Amino acid sequence: MKVYKFGGASVKDPSGVKQVVNILKLTQKEPLIVVVSAMGKTTNALEQVVHCCLNNDPDCEAYISEIFDKHLTIIRELFDQPSHPVYTAIKALRQGLSDFIRQNKATDHAFVYDQIVSYGELLSTTIVRHYCLDSGIELAWLDVRQCIKTDATYREGVVDWAATHKAIKEAINPKGITLTQGFLGSETKHNFTTTLGREGSDYTAAIFAYCLNALSVTIWKDVPGVLSADPRYFKETVLLEQISYSEAIELAFYGASVIHPKTLQPLQRKEIPLFVKPFNDPQASGTRVGTGPDLKPRVGCIIKKEQQVLIQLSALDFNFMMEDHIGDVFKWLHAYQMKVELIQNSAISFSVCVDNKYNRLPELVAQLQKRFQVLVHPRVTLLTLRHAPSKMIQAAVKSRDVLLRQESGNTLQLVLQGID
């Protein structure tokens, strides 16, 4: 059994769906789990529907129509017959989403988010399923929510591994191809939809691989593999042919976008290799993550995260920053859903760089100001450099102001003023 994962950029248009079929035809005699994300920017569009739903916006139905019209445009290019069963399936999904919004009484943003945004993956896998069947690829379509069981932490569901393992073993045909959704799960008590965090489709693939003792996981991307830096920001990049589990976990932890941070740990536990390969060149070797050298070739790596926030704290009474102060800070960072990227403390100050992905910074600052002097630097850039020579560091920083610097072992982190 192998596991393939196709991201939203891979299935964003008819040619992408056709390429999925081409890749599956190369391996269709092997048992396979195929995990597919929502098409293109569908998740972002559905987030607007969430906003409309919670604010009783009369334009909500118009936003839904726009999303479904884009999918219907793709369908019309893939299927010749106007009476094809795919249209009935898409219509049912449209009705299900509209019914939820009309009947919804919930006000919790995270809960509503998961119920609505999940339709992106349901749409994409429905389209891919029908096109595969029409192309002669026999497969089973699986609602992943039947298998991946989590707690009720909406938007960041914590996997119940025992329940998930049991459900996957019961649901999967070990000899065929199973197509399912990435990113989604369901909570064990009431079966409401949950999600595994943005970019969680990679994690979905790893969960299936772990539970099925898969031979490998392959993530198909629109890049040659894992590069030493993001080519959107840095001109000189190198393809990393081999990365060890520990090095890949470090890179993912610091924000390398090609691999989801939670993906690697279950794979490492069972030594299941992960391949990152180019979607448009399936015969290329790409990058292998597994046992072996930390990095091949051994080059400096740069990870860039923009739109971060640097918060600098000191005690109102000019006292030292003691354990009780820092304990309260972490409690509030967790309460207001801040993703901590970097921390640094001294006797009289505490600095933390965070990702304000849930837009709750004003609430956090208001809470912190009750106990600390607070200085906020919005829209900063966090650079993380591993194994980087001084020349690479200088080129990355350019002439920008360094607000905070922290170095440990092979890792240097810099918080820079502003964004590019």
Q: What is the DSSP string of 194-254?
A: EE--TTTHHHHHHHHHHHHT-SEEEEEESSSS-BSS-TTT-S---B-SEEEHHHHHHHHHT
Q: Which of 89, 125, 104 is nearest to 49 (CA)?
A: 104
Q: Where in the chain is the domain with CATH 3.40.1160.10?
A: 2-222
Q: In this predicted model, what pLDDT tens digit does every residue of 31-42 receive, in sequence order?
A: 999 999 999 999
CA–CA dist 334, 156 (Å, integer): 13
Confidence of residue 28 (pLDDT cuts 50, 70, 90): low
Is residue 221 predicted with pLDDT exceeding 80?
yes
Instruction: Between 409 and 49, name the one with better pLDDT.
Output: 49
pLDDT at res. 325: 83
Is residue 420 predicted with pLDDT exceeding 80?
no
pLDDT at res. 320: 83
Average pLDDT over every residue of 393-410 = 90
Provide the token pair at 292. 């072996």
Q: How many CB atoms neighbour CB 240 within 10 A?
A: 26
Average pLDDT over every residue of 197-205 = 89
Confidence of residue 102 (pLDDT cuts 50, 70, 90): very high
Domain covering 2-222 assigned CATH 3.40.50.300 in the classification = no
Is residue 152 classed as helix, strand or coil in its secondary structure?
A: coil
CA–CA dist 254, 237 (Å, integer): 18
Percentage above 90 pLDDT, the chain:
83
Q: Where in the chain is the domain with CATH 3.30.2130.10?
A: 301-416
CATH number attached to the domain at 301-416: 3.30.2130.10
Q: How far is CA 18 from the centre of its chain?
A: 24
Which helix H or strand E contains 156, and what residues bound it?
none
Confidence of residue 93 (pLDDT cuts 50, 70, 90): very high
**Beta sheet of 184-187, edge-to-edge order:** 149-150, 184-187, 193-195
CA–CA dist 292, 268 (Å, integer): 12
pLDDT at res. 373: 93
CA–CA dist 111, 248 (Å, integer): 32
Q: In this predicted model, what pLDDT tens digit does every residue of 124-163 receive, in sequence order?
A: 999 999 999 999 999 999 999 999 999 999 999 999 999 9
Is residue 45 predicted with pLDDT exceeding 70?
yes
pLDDT at res. 33: 98
Is residue 258 predicted with pLDDT exceeding 80?
no
Average pLDDT over every residue of 347-359 = 92
pLDDT at res. 400: 87
Provide the token pair at 283. 């015969």
Average pLDDT over every residue of 207-234 = 94
Q: Which of 156, 92, 99, 78 is nearest to 123 (CA)?
A: 92
pTM to 2 decimals? 0.88
